[in-house]
Structure 1
Amino acid sequence: MSFNSAFRNATLEQFLAHRSGVQQSTTFYRLHLDALSAQKGTFRQIRYWVTETVLKDVPEVRPGEFLYANQGYAVAAAMMEQITGRDWESLVQEHVFAPLQMTSATIGIGYDDIIPPKTPVGHDLPLDKQIPIPRPVLSSTLLHNDQAATGPGGYIACTMQDWVKFLHAHVIGVSTGYLTDVTADKLKRPFIGVEGYGLGVSAYNRTWATPGQALVHSGDIFGQDTVFWMTPGRDLIVAAYTNCLSVDKSTGLALDNAAGMLIGRYAANTTTSKAFVHAPVILDHLSIFPRGV
């Protein structure tokens, strides 16, 4: 594989922490959507093409600087595939879904034309509309190719119950043997500094989260929007989801407010805090943390 020399010293953890310099998704699709749509082959073959493509381009930011880039996770997946000789889809099934008993977990974007639908259908809420509009079904070719490009960064779907099983691994991973001490520690601290983005989550100091820090991530894809806040030190996980994405990001704010309300209830019931049972906690992360796509 040939690549831009600026990426020569990029590490796996830099790709996972969005500090490799790889271009963000909007740039990737603007430059390479037509070429991506024309690719043929397996997920692994197309993912290799995606990896080679983004690593040939000039870094969008200096390697080491933060830029949220889903294609960096595609590169990380391609690295695993190169080492193991297996595709990322089978690896995540074996090492994540199975041991965590995430029986509902699938990889791919779900569409359901049944009325009423059996699975959540993503919706968009434009600025000039009051009723969300269902997302149209993409072509099978584009869905296949985009899973290769973006799947490792956001194509896993599951029930809320199974999602919380994944999040709970941050709490019980060491005691159950699922995570080593070193891995568990890396997964709940910033990559650089005392606050900020780490390996898949951001870590922030919050009084309600002590001991330890609050972990958070939010994201949207294909008309679905979600956020979680958790504190492993208190074994508290709050996750919120809606199958609607608003152009003005109000759905994300509503999810954050819902999470804050639940955390406020928890803080009032388990600490000496004077917070009212239904008093929201100001989470204030949407202004400082980019929502993944």
Structure 2
Amino acid sequence: MRIMSPGACVLILGMSLMLPSGMVQGQTINHKLEPYLKSGELPAVAAAVVERGTITEFGAVGTRKLGADIPVTIYDKFHLGSDTKAMTATIAGMMIEEGKLKWDSTLGDVFPELKDSMGKDVEKVTLEQLLSHTSGMRADDANFMELLKNSFDVDGDLNELRYWIVKESVKLPLVAKSGDAWAYNNRGYTIAGAMIEKVSGKPWDELIVERIFEPFQLTTAGLGCQSSLGKIDAPLGHVKQKDGSIKSYMAGPNADNHPVLGPAGIAHLSILDLATWAGWNAGNGMRAPCNIVSPQMVEKIHSPVFTIKSDKPHRPGTPPDGQYAHGWGWVSVDWAPYPLLYHGGSNGKNLAQVWIDKKKDIAIVIMTNISNPKADATLREIAKELYEDATAGY
């Protein structure tokens, strides 16, 4: 692993977002967020703005459960969904800098014991293609849903279940030539996580805690449903039913995705901890913690691989048209002068968005405990207001 010089880290340590427990900098923006609860039909929403490594604005309004008077706070854990993918890509970057993987490491390289069972050209699929959704492998189709269902009957830890997913998935023929087409693919991220597990000798679930949560001091971060069984100790996920009513989900088997999908998106954390992670990315990894990956690796992770063009509306939590990198995308919006680094995340009941202007070193993070197109559009409206306010002096 390449490590920045100690002097560089000390020079910028004062700008680190990792604050002692209970100490929060910046000013509240609850008054900005309140109107969006009604207009967006959101049970709760939290947001924060990070400028050049400092949280300048933050807020959390609404309730943990619609219809109940349980106010959210800035320390409440919201579900991150597919924004977890950027963390998985960063762990992959660590494996690359440690010499355990390469961007062009193939499934055949990492799983030679499965070569004989692999479909045509599957052994040539690379780590980078899996992380950029350009592998050509079958995506989140009926087969993958069946595998997730059947994996409950497989004995072993989550890493062993992921290996079983790999074994079953590599038998399938590619649906497109690797590198030639883009398809959002949670199967691919699950397989990339299995590659990381194979070369590191540790489960992905242990690695994300050891390599991301702890170094960044993301004290609220965890995996799976953000609330505890039998408790409303975090914002519950919500779904708008066909009849227009909104249903909340207590912790349980239907409150989150299958834990085997960890590398694709089952993390949760507070808005302040998400701001810490986003601010570090906005600064290209030049702020503490300094021993994660090199700034060059952060730049590579952020670098576009494929241009997305679709004639269908994107589902909340999936990338819109633009360019896709590795767990990140580049999106053009009418309220920014150039494309912004972006990713959205959702497990169907929660929604998170991360917007980053790397030129100005500004990050905006927004999370809510409901997911649907209206909520997605509302979070974009919040991002626009916060971005325009943050850049008004430029």
TM over 0.5: yes
Match of 1:239 among 358, 365, 390: 365
Match of 2:323 among 174, 184, 196: 196
Q: Which residue of 2 aligns with 1:58?
A: 173
Residues 34/221 of structure 1: CA separation in 2 closer, same or farther (3 Å cut): closer
Point out the more displaced range, 190-199 or 36-45. 190-199
The answer to whether structure 1 residue 47 and structure 2 residue 156 are counterparts is no
Matches within 5 A, 1:214-233: 214-233=340-359
Q: Distance in 1 between matches of 2:251 and 2:230?
A: 13
Q: Distance in 1 between matches of 2:229 and 2:197?
A: 34
Shift of 1:128: 2.3
- 2:218 corresponds to which letter in structure 1? M
Q: Distance in 1 between matches of 2:361 and 2:258?
A: 35
Q: Distance in 2 between matches of 1:11 and 1:197?
A: 16
The answer to whether structure 1 residue 70 and structure 2 residue 186 are counterparts is yes
Identical amino acids, percent of aligned pairs? 23
Runs of 4+ aligned structure 1 residues displaced above 4 Å come to 112-115, 205-210
Q: Is the 8 A contact 1:132 1:244 kept in 2?
A: no
What do the CA deviations read for 1:11-53 (whole angstroms, capped 9, x no partner)? Answer: 1111111111222224344442442232221011101011122
Specify which structure has the bigger relative contact order, considering alpha-carbon pairs within 8 angstroms and separated by 6 or more residues.
2
Structure 1 portions without partners, runs of 5+: 272-293
Residues 206/135 of structure 1: CA separation in 2 closer, same or farther (3 Å cut): closer
Match of 1:167 among 266, 273, 278: 278
Q: Distance in 2 between matches of 1:193 and 1:222?
A: 25
What do the CA deviations read for 1:122-141 (whole angstroms, capped 9, x no partner)? Answer: 11012421x4101365449x
Q: Is the 8 A contact 2:237 2:370 kept in 1?
A: yes
Secondary structure of 1:57's aligned partner: coil
Q: Distance in 2 between matches of 1:164 and 1:230?
A: 11
What do the CA deviations read for 1:230-278 (whole angstroms, capped 9, x no partner)? Answer: 11221211111111123xx2111111111112112223x222xxxxxxx
Give the alignment's TM-score, normalised by structure 1: 0.80
Secondary structure of 2:210's aligned partner: helix
Q: Which residue of 1 aligns with 2:243?
A: 128
Q: Is the 8 A contact 1:244 1:251 kept in 2?
A: yes
- 1:40 corresponds to which letter in structure 2? D
Q: Distance in 2 between matches of 1:174 and 1:83?
A: 27
Matches within 5 A, 1:242-281: 242-246=368-372, 249-267=373-391, 269-271=392-394
| Greater share of helix | 1
Q: Which residue of 2 aligns with 1:281?
A: none
Q: Distance in 1 between matches of 2:121 and 2:171?
A: 9
Structure 2 portions without partners, runs of 5+: 1-113, 309-321
Residues 34/74 of structure 1: CA separation in 2 closer, same or farther (3 Å cut): closer
Residues 250/39 of structure 1: CA separation in 2 closer, same or farther (3 Å cut): same
**Number of matched residues?**
262
The answer to whether structure 1 residue 9 and structure 2 residue 120 are counterparts is no
Secondary structure of 1:80's aligned partner: helix
Residues 205/179 of structure 1: CA separation in 2 closer, same or farther (3 Å cut): farther
Shift of 1:111: 3.7
